[in-house]
Amino acid sequence: MTEGKTKVRLLEGIRVLDLSRIIAGPFCSQILGDMGAEVIKVEQPGVGDDSRTWGPPFKNGESAYFFCINRNKKSITVDMKDSRGKAIIRELAKRSDVLLENFKPGTLAKLGLDWDVLGQENPRLIFCSISGFGRTGPSADRGGYDVIVQAMGGLMGITGEPDGAPVKVGVAMTDICTALYAHGAILAALYARDRTGVGQRIDVSLLETQIAALINIASSYLNAGEIPGKWGTAHVNIVPYQAFRMQDGSMIIGAANDRLWVKLCEAIGLPEVGRDPRYATNAQRVAHRDEIVRRLEARLATKTRKEWETILAPTGIPCGPINRMDEVFADPQVQHLEIVLEAEHPTAGTIRMVRNPVSFSLTPVDLRQVPPRLGEHTEEVLHGLLGYSAAEVEALRAAGVV
């Protein structure tokens, strides 16, 4: 994946002090690590990030969940409640470009490790805080978990079958979107620092991210007062644009304009439906949603997903089977993109991960460090970066500080 590229990585020379845990923060710092930043992940001695315990599945005692959000990082363990541990964090912050944290608002202030302190000691520091509901306000102290914010932020209320209960998205999408916003904000702040010479504080919350991610749903309510229901796989504004059941499963088909509508009907052997003046425009098709879906379902149920895909895909009609995980990674296009990384882990053995999905023409985005064992790099960082002697590190270890 890096043939013909330079040896200089995008964020080479940038150090990230990662105090975050669970999903949103670690996923953000993993992106920065993939792009070449040195990421120092700080974990609680003897315990570590909660995601280390999330399973099954485990591989030789290591959590598969932890693997997906913690590559390209160094792990150190520090008790931040101990004065000696606080001193380590402050020294690391002075030597870092970015600090990332997702503690409950106010936690780091009580420890004397918040922006007001660390930003004074390192004016070039970019201090990114991820919270559930924002740093201030009546809900600031609430625990911010993805599924809670999916519910409170409106996503769960529009997800599920029309006559069924609300359901969450199958992965922690609010966490992932928050991580993406945070990583973009950090890059923008680094760019601004190049021009101003100073860092700044960044605040991003799961709730704000979730509401921003409602896009057209939020806009329809704010501008037209519409309160949408649940549409399953269907689209509230476009028909047909949903899953259709076939002989061996279901496929998504989307005819998002009048030209594709006619082409779809011709391709599946219903040209008269495509020419029916009652269905000529998308607005008319939305009005006749139920009868259109019934007619298409009856026809599409006569073949398998592969048979219909072979017919529809070459015509340019957007379509795709609803795949299981084994089908996803067996897909020829997925295999062509080489999206799976394979590496040797010191305790888990051979592990496989989904690579960073972005490719650059000149600079590599690659795997330099498998997900670290708990505290694997503590001595390396304390000795090599902060200048602690072996005796000092051993004393800290004996006291449980690291």
Catalytic center residues: 175
Residue 270: CB atoms within 10 Å: 17
Question: Backbone phi, then psi, for 349, in 5-degree steps?
Answer: 85, -145
The order of strands in the sheet holding 201-205 is: 74-77, 38-43, 15-18, 98-101, 126-131, 201-205
Name the amino acid, one letter, at 102: N
Could you count the other beta carbons within 10 Å of the beta carbon of residue 195?
7
Q: How many residues does the chain have?
A: 402
Cross-strand partners of 42: 76
Cα distance between residue 187 and residue 180, in whole Å: 11
User: What is d(CA 397, CA 78) in angstroms, rounded to the nearest whole number?
Assistant: 9
* Helical axes 24-34 vs 173-196, angle rounded to 10°: 50
Q: What is the enclosing helix (H) or strand (E) of 396?
A: helix 390-398
Bridge partners of residue 76, in order along the sequence: 42
C-alpha span between 88 and 371 (Å, rounded): 23
In contact, 76 and 43? CB cutoff 8 Å: yes
Residues 153, 208 contacting (CB under 8 angstroms): no
Give the residue from 382, 387, 389, 348 showing the smallest Cα distance to 85. 382
Q: Assign 17 to helix, strand or coil.
A: strand
